[in-house]
Structure 1
Amino acid sequence: MTPSNILSVEAYFDLICPWCLIGKRHLETAIDLLARERPDVTVQLEWRSYPLIPATPPDGIPYRDFYVARLGSPQAVAVRQAQVIAAAREAGLTLALDRIETFPNTMLAHRLVRFVRTQDGAAAAATLVDNLFTRYFMRGANIGDGHVLREALAECGIQSPLEQGASVQHDMDWLPPLNGPDDPPPRAGLGVPHFIFNGTHSVSGSRPPEALLEAMLRALARAKQIATRAVA
């Protein structure tokens, strides 16, 4: 297999961002489209953590209070949520924002995702990311709570020190920090979702699948050009 047959995808996200969930669905659709157009290509997808509000209190804050303070009024919150719900519906997702009571601190969840990626690989981490998105936006669960994270791991069939009685909430020494040597931090001010293809082409925001597919094809074409020059 040549480099021009490999598409690496780095997907920067935060679990509190509904646009990241919508972007994830668009990315999955784009990968399916790519498989039809370029069945010879292998996609290597990595989910990269980018906590948007890491200073959120560990126990979280009331969800509605957070958004009223952020957007200025209950009416503004209602308008924004309607926009998000409509965009999610177009992507085939049904959000239950009215079930969310706590705006969580996602640092622990991101550290757990990184631990799973290191221990079990990218596919297991992607499964956990999907589970946590579902828990937060469809079930209204507090994904900053250690018990919820335990349940997510169990539901995903992922083994970890948690099963040996370690407390996720208070004993986190075994969890690796974010942005280790094999996971360098993205540039400051990055908007999420943010997708980087083969390290050469990027797309920010929850863009339609067609826009993501176009960037993928351009990244593959660029890789082919580089490979051709290397042989010449």
Structure 2
Amino acid sequence: MILNIDFVSDFVCPWCFLGKVRLERALTELQATRPELEPRVNWLPFLLNPDTPPQGEPYRAFLDAKFGGPIKAEAVLDNVRAAAAADGLQYAFERIQTRPNTLHAHRLMYRAQSIGQTQARIQMLGGALFAAHFQEGRDIGDKDTLADIAATCGERRDSVREWLDSSADTDKVQRMVAGVRKQGIEGVPFYILNRKLAVSGAQSAAVLGAALLQSLETGKPS
């Protein structure tokens, strides 16, 4: 049985990284009791800050301006760290120098899905993009960096780099971003389960698991 999950996220959203980890845990636990389920996670793009310059911007300056100074910004990061600790996820915010424009990262994910890569490869790419930004401090707005990440996920680096230099699928990704906004989605992570049930925020694996089960039952004849 196919279990469709639309995962709306941005690769510079720390809660989305946690949301991915918790979704994976929920799916693992669900498949332990429902091995016939075949999850298919479809990544949908969201731009937290569409006005981010193409070259990105200084990370800490952005955080300080957004949250009202370095003390408040660090408190926000501490909150994220604490929330993720129980799930075994660690962030290295101190390594991040640039807050990137993620349009090309979303293009890379769109490409992986549109050419029919396996679910395993697609989820590997998503995790690698999050990890590159939040744990390794790499600039995922940089095309060379993105090509390197794609290569670690089984792609041919030169082919990906050449593709990134083109404008391929840029308009499609931008239309998807606009379409997500038109659906009223204003925050991420956001999950659409079996096109029946919506869940907002980095909910626990238990909450996500219950929602996944509910989405399987919704619409069944009584």
TM-score, scaled to structure 2:
0.90
- The 8 Å contact of residues 144 and 161 in structure 2, kept in 1 or not, is answered as no
Superposition CA RMSD, Å: 2.2
Q: Does 2:138 align with 1:141?
A: yes
Indicate conservation of the 8 Å contact 2:45/2:177, yes or no.
no
Give aligned-pair identity as a percent. 33
Cα-to-partner distance string for 1:38-72 (whole Å, 9 max, x where unaligned): 22222121111111112100111100000000001
Query: How far 1:190 moved relative to its partner?
Result: 2.6
**How far did 1:185 drift?**
2.2
CA–CA separation in structure 2 for the residues paired with 1:167 and 1:145: 13
Q: In the alignment, which residue of structure 1 is the partner of 2:98?
A: 102
Correspondence for 1:218 among 214, 217, 221 = 214
Cα distance change on mapping 1:37 and 1:116 into 2, 3 Å: same
- Per-residue deviation, residues 105-160 of structure 1 (Å, max 9, x unmatched): 00111011101211133523322111110100000001001110111011111237
Q: Does 1:83 align with 2:79?
A: yes
> Residue 46 of structure 2 contacts residue 177 of structure 2 at CA under 8 Å; is this kept in 1?
no
Paired letter, 2:172: L
CA distance in 2, matches of 1:174, 1:62: 28
Question: In the alignment, which of 146, 151, 163 is matched to residue 154 of structure 1?
Answer: 151
Secondary structure of the residue aligned to 2:48 is coil
Length, aligned pairs only? 219
Q: Which residue of 2 aligns with 1:111?
A: 107
**TM-score, structure 1 length as denominator?**
0.87
Q: Secondary structure at the match of 1:177?
A: helix
Aligned mate of 1:185, from 154, 167, 179:
179
Aligned twin of 1:203: 199
Measured after TM superposition, the shift of residue 166 of structure 1 is 2.1
Alignment gaps of 5+ in structure 1: none
Unpaired segments ≥5 residues, structure 2:
none
From the superposition, tell whether residues 184 and 67 of structure 1 become closer, same or farther in structure 2 (CA, over 3 Å).
Answer: closer
CA contact (8 A) 1:192 1:204 kept: yes
Secondary structure of 2:179's aligned partner = coil
Contact 2:81/2:91 (8 A) holds in 1:
yes
Quote the Cα distance in structure 2 between the aligned partners of 1:220 and 1:195. 14
Give the match for residue 130 of structure 1.
127
- Taking structure 1 as reference, are residues 174 and 20 closer, same or farther at Cα in structure 2, changes over 3 Å only? same
Counterpart residue type for residue 215 of structure 1? A
